[in-house]
Amino acid sequence: TATAAAAMVWFRKGLRVHDNPALDAARRGGAAARLYPVFVLDPRYLLPDQAAPSPGSARAGVARVRFLLESLSDLDARLRRLGSRLLLLRARDDGDVAGTVCAALKDWNIGKLCFESDTEPYALARDKKVMDFAAASGIDVFSPVSHTLFDPAEIIEKFLFSFGKWKNGGRPPMTYQSFVAIAGEPPEPIMEEYSELPPVGDTGEYELLPVPRVEELGYGDISQEDLSPFRGGETEALKRMRESLHDKEWVAKFEKPKGDPSAFLKPATTVLSPYLKFGCLSSRYFYHCIQDVYRSTKKHTNPPVSLTGQLLWRDFFYTVAFGTPNFDQMKGNKICKQIPWTENEELFPAWRDGRTGYPWIDAIMIQLRKWGWMHHLARHSVACFLTRGDLFIHWEKGRDVFERLLIDSDWAINNGNWMWLSCSSFFYQYHRIYSPTSFGKKYDPNGNYIRHFIPVLKDMPKEYIYEPWTAPLSIQKKANCIIGKDYPKPVVDHAIASKECKKMMGEAYASNRLDDDKPDKGKSSNSS
Ligand code: FAD
């Protein structure tokens, strides 16, 4: 039977042992203490969905599901080395994660519950149920902020009181500069390394699952797929971070958006985003380690372009997302321009499935499907193309595809960047459009990136690789790729489509300005 000194650490994100304040608090329980490290498999993300256009659930593609399972295995192995283990539970009643946690709290007689705070709407609702149960049952709850550098709620409060007076009616800072000015330095990470953790208590009748393989979840044979080269887990995260930071000059000179979006064998950035997303890597620990490198170099770049600047972007989006009602939609979202995006039953699947006929765009979408990760500027290219650049399709549709297929899929960052790229918020220079042909060519004139992700174009001469429809038929034949048969013709003419998009954006902006002048602005749009 469990003792009253039992504590539970409930993992959701934060899949790590290092710099984990929830785990750190849960382990401090005195001599008789028992520690229950729990993770509940949430079918919302895990169960296969036959209707989804590639393996995975409606919420998570197979690459991310696999990344999560690898992260869980690694966490279990690291806990076992410290004399503990991960208790993996199946959600009861078809997906009631909160109910599963509450039942375990009761059955194991837990006195203290520790979990990392999570500001996503889905998590807030789930966690409230558990906190209400804990309060009614007299269980102590400790829920520290450790997914981000700063506490979004605290930043918003500081912003409110900035300049010594009430400002902005509780709105979050809407520019990076005002965010950075308020934020200051993040808290130091916990640097202590544990030699052991308290033993796990009795789990009674509970069925403890081994970490399943993706195939066991019903995804069928995925061995044929060219899957993501990035493996999940804290061990891999720390290794990857150390490798990135090893080249001190690279760290000191890091400057975004410079960097080659077509580099895929050795990406131009750290590819730590999926590890930060699942919390296999602590953002505070990463920040701290970058500062160490800066101290040992003569000069270094600064925010917003530096590597620490990127982590601040992440926190910026978390803060705005937390402080903005309906952040993940256009309607009823006060920071989002209202734009009459179109629906298009043919163009949207062509974009989603990498069949637009623009090799640069299609290669990026295929990399997304297979790897679940693309460079930031590659994301810019396809997001601009779908929305204000060429197709004039709603950013929410593109957001959904990214949300499902990215291994680093992150509610705050993804929605924020989609609003940015569609010129719906944060950034408004809609006349600046990425060319789907010449932008990629600047970095990769030979088209190696395209040849890798679209093998049917691998023998297309470099003169035509970005615009294969312009190749004479004899060349297409020689390259074994007939345009319109083996690879699609372009779905739109970029020169015409982009002009039309600019016109529609101009009109939409003008009508938003008119709306801004109305006295009841905001009230009437809060309908959804
Ligand atoms: P690095 O350049 O090495 O940066 C280090 C870390 O800083 C990243 O891991 C990430 O956590 C953070 N970061 C970097 N750029 C940004 C940014 N623009 N905004 C916020 N945080 C940033 N990133 C996600 O993590 N999840 C998403 O769902 C996501 N969706 C996006 C959607 C669109 C349309 C666009 C344009 C960008 C999106 N990004 C998203 C932001 C960015 O592209 C990725 O964070 C970055 O490419 C990840 O690669 P990296 O780890 O090598 O980044």
Using a 6 Å cutoff on CB, does residue 270 contact ligand 1? yes
d(CA 27, CA 332): 43
Using a 6 Å cutoff on CB, does residue 313 contact ligand 1? yes
DSSP string, 465-523: TT-GGGS-HHHHHHTT--BTTTBPPPSS-HHHHHHHHHHHHHHHHHHHHHHHHSTTTTT
Using a 6 Å cutoff on CB, does residue 402 contact ligand 1? yes
Using a 6 Å cutoff on CB, does residue 406 contact ligand 1? yes
Using a 6 Å cutoff on CB, does residue 272 contact ligand 1? yes
| CA distance readout (Å), 106 to 4, 126, 242 | 11, 17, 41
Atom of ligand 1 nearest to the CA of 383: 34
Using DSSP's 3-state secondary structure scheme, residue 192 falls into coil
Provide the Cα torsion 145, 149, 151, 154; round to 10°.
150
| Residue tagged 């906190």 (tokens) | 131
Query: What pLDDT is attached to residue 162?
Result: 72
| CA distance readout (Å), 470 to 361, 452, 455, 489 | 17, 21, 19, 10
Supply the ipTM of this predicted assembly: 0.99
Q: Determine phi and psi for 9, rounding to 5 degrees.
A: -110, 120
Using a 6 Å cutoff on CB, does residue 120 contact ligand 1? no
Using DSSP's 3-state secondary structure scheme, residue 96 falls into strand
- The residue whose CA has the least distance to atom 17 of ligand 1 is 313
Query: What pLDDT is attached to residue 518?
Result: 65
Contact between 314 and 283 under an 8 Å Cβ cutoff? The reply is yes
Atom of ligand 1 nearest to the CA of 267: 52
Using a 6 Å cutoff on CB, does residue 413 contact ligand 1? yes
Q: Probe ligand 1: pick from 287, 301, 310, 396, max atoms within 8 Å of CB?
A: 310
> Tokens for 206?
């509970």
Query: What pLDDT is attached to residue 215?
Result: 86
Quick one: DSSP state of residue 303? T
Using a 6 Å cutoff on CB, does residue 277 contact ligand 1? yes
Cα 375 → chain centroid: 13
CA of 273 to the centre of ligand 1 (A): 6
- The residue whose CA has the least distance to atom 44 of ligand 1 is 376
Query: What pLDDT is attached to residue 526?
Result: 30
CA of 306 to the centre of ligand 1 (A): 13
- The residue whose CA has the least distance to atom 14 of ligand 1 is 310
Q: Residue 382: which residues within 8 A CB-CB, separation 6 or more?
A: 351, 361, 364, 365, 368, 374, 398
d(CA 180, CA 285): 19
Closest CA to 378 of 360, 391, 390, 392: 360
| pLDDT digits (tens), the chain, 528 positions | 444 579 999 999 999 999 999 999 999 976 668 999 999 999 989 888 888 888 888 899 999 999 999 999 999 999 999 999 999 999 998 789 999 999 999 999 999 999 999 999 999 999 999 999 999 999 999 999 999 999 999 999 888 877 555 555 568 899 999 999 999 999 999 999 999 999 999 999 999 999 999 888 888 767 656 678 999 999 999 999 999 999 999 999 999 989 999 999 999 999 999 999 999 999 999 999 999 999 999 999 999 999 999 999 999 999 999 999 999 999 999 999 999 999 889 999 999 999 999 999 999 999 999 999 999 999 999 999 999 999 999 999 999 999 999 999 999 999 999 999 999 999 999 999 999 999 999 999 999 999 999 999 999 999 999 999 999 999 999 999 999 999 999 999 999 999 999 999 999 999 998 777 665 444 333 332
CA of 267 to the centre of ligand 1 (A): 13
In 82-195, which residue ranges form alpha helices assigned H by DSSP? Answer: 97-107, 121-137, 152-160, 176-183
d(CA 2, CA 31): 14
Q: Probe ligand 1: pick from 327, 408, 434, max atoms within 8 Å of CB?
A: 408
Using a 6 Å cutoff on CB, does residue 311 contact ligand 1? yes
CA of 377 to the centre of ligand 1 (A): 10
Using a 6 Å cutoff on CB, does residue 396 contact ligand 1? no
Contact between 18 and 288 under an 8 Å Cβ cutoff? The reply is no
Using a 6 Å cutoff on CB, does residue 317 contact ligand 1? yes
Query: With a threshold of 0.90, does the pTM exceed it?
Result: yes
Peptide bond preceding 304 in cis form (omega within 30 of 0): yes
- The residue whose CA has the least distance to atom 48 of ligand 1 is 273
Atom of ligand 1 nearest to the CA of 418: 34
Atom of ligand 1 nearest to the CA of 277: 25
d(CA 147, CA 314): 11
